[in-house]
Amino acid sequence: MEPHRGRLRLVGGSSRDQGFRGGGSGLMEREAPGDATLGFSLARPKLIRVAYRMLGSVSDAEDVVQEAYIRWMQADRGGIRKPTAFLHRTVTRLCLDQLKSARHQREKYVGTWLPEPLVEEDVEEDDITLPLMLALERLSPLERAAFLLHDVFGMEFPEVAQAIDRDPAACRQLAARARTHVREARPRYKVEKWRGMEIAQAFFAASRQGDMHALEAILAADVSIHADGGGKRASVTEAIVGVEAVMTAQRRLAEIFRENGSTFVRLAFINGLPGFVSRESDGELQTTAFDIEDGKIVAIYVVRNPDKLRHLH
């Protein structure tokens, strides 16, 4: 599903304003008769979160929820006893259809694939960070749906069963398999938000100023860099692993920054991780996110693909 340029937002405003905040579920049950648009706008934030966690794309999530809105308005709502369940089922099935084509597209993707960066001023405690989103990519679409709907968004298995058209016992098995696969990706030691931002700011300052001693001091021995340029901007095509290899790369980058510049835009949480947005010498934006354990950076995730950064302009 390609983003529709200039598409009309029928309800609820932009996801960057409200769509990725929690809440909204259950409010549909109190919808006044005939107030379909208002009811959908109340449910929209959680629907957007479900779609984004399934697809890893802000634009695709918005498209899916927009299509769900159209189907909601066309449905015989008088016969729908549980509007929230209907909408979750609609969004989930649209996402499952989308994932079939997405897998084929990612097989042809140039270099490392990272989710489209979701940039927020603050994060909720839903435990879905970038490493976990990457682990979800290794699941089957049905495993991903069962895990997200039950373990993350708190739906009971009978509701999950309706959403993905499987029986509750099968949904329990799907979720259990998913948990086994993603267990290692869950954060073991959550960094305090303020400390995460402090480390992100320190990384920007040290890397752009060429202070290699300060930079190495905040890196773990097994640190890795993962960069997504999509074949459209210069980027490493495979992960760089180990502090020595990472420092070698950072020394080269420091020379580039010194000659061409790199402008700090803002600190932010990027897919649940502390990080920052910068504008590089080619005039394009870039996001950098950090997985941090015990006060050290264990992984660096850089998104440079301009197609994945359009929603930040």
Give CA–CA dist 229/164, Å, rounded: 33
User: Kind and range of the H or E element at 214?
Assistant: helix 212-217
Q: pTM of the predicted model, to two decimals?
A: 0.81
Cβ-count burial 224-248 (b if 16+ within 10 Å, e if not): bbbbbbbeebebeeeebeebeebbe
User: How many residues can be counted in the chain?
Assistant: 313
Give the pLDDT confidence score for residue 187 in this predicted structure. 64
DSSP 165: T
Token pair listed for 170: 């099968």
> How many CA atoms, within 13 angstroms, populate the side-chain half-sphere of residue 160?
26
Nearest of 182, 163, 180 to residue 82 by alpha carbon: 163
Nearest of 212, 186, 207 to residue 286 by alpha carbon: 207
Nearest of 212, 215, 152 to residue 182 by alpha carbon: 152
Give CA–CA dist 91/142, Å, rounded: 13
- Contact between 55 and 20 under an 8 Å Cβ cutoff? The reply is no
Instruction: Tell the CATH topology of 130-186.
Output: Arc Repressor Mutant, subunit A (1.10.10)
User: Do the domains 130-186 and 193-312 sit in the same CATH topology, yes or no?
Assistant: no
User: What are the extents of the domains in the chain?
Assistant: 1-108, 130-186, 193-312
Instruction: Point out which residues pair with 293 in neighbouring strands.
Output: 296
List, in order, residues 6 or more apart from 254 with CB less than 8 Å away: 207, 208, 209, 210, 212
Give CA–CA dist 302/297, Å, rounded: 13
- Contact between 186 and 135 under an 8 Å Cβ cutoff? The reply is no
Q: Which CATH architecture has domain 193-312?
A: Roll (3.10)
Per-residue pLDDT of the chain (313 residues; tens, 9 = 90+): 333 333 333 333 333 333 443 344 444 444 444 577 878 888 898 899 899 999 988 889 999 999 999 999 888 887 788 888 889 999 999 999 888 776 656 667 888 999 999 999 887 765 678 988 999 888 999 999 999 999 988 899 999 999 999 999 999 999 999 998 888 777 666 788 999 999 999 999 999 999 999 999 999 999 999 999 999 998 888 999 999 999 999 999 999 999 998 999 999 999 999 999 999 989 999 999 999 999 999 999 999 999 999 988 7
The residue written with tokens 């752009």 in the block is 208
Cβ-count burial 272-300 (b if 16+ within 10 Å, e if not): bbbbbbbebeeeebbbbbbbbeeebbbbb
Give CA–CA dist 281/295, Å, rounded: 30
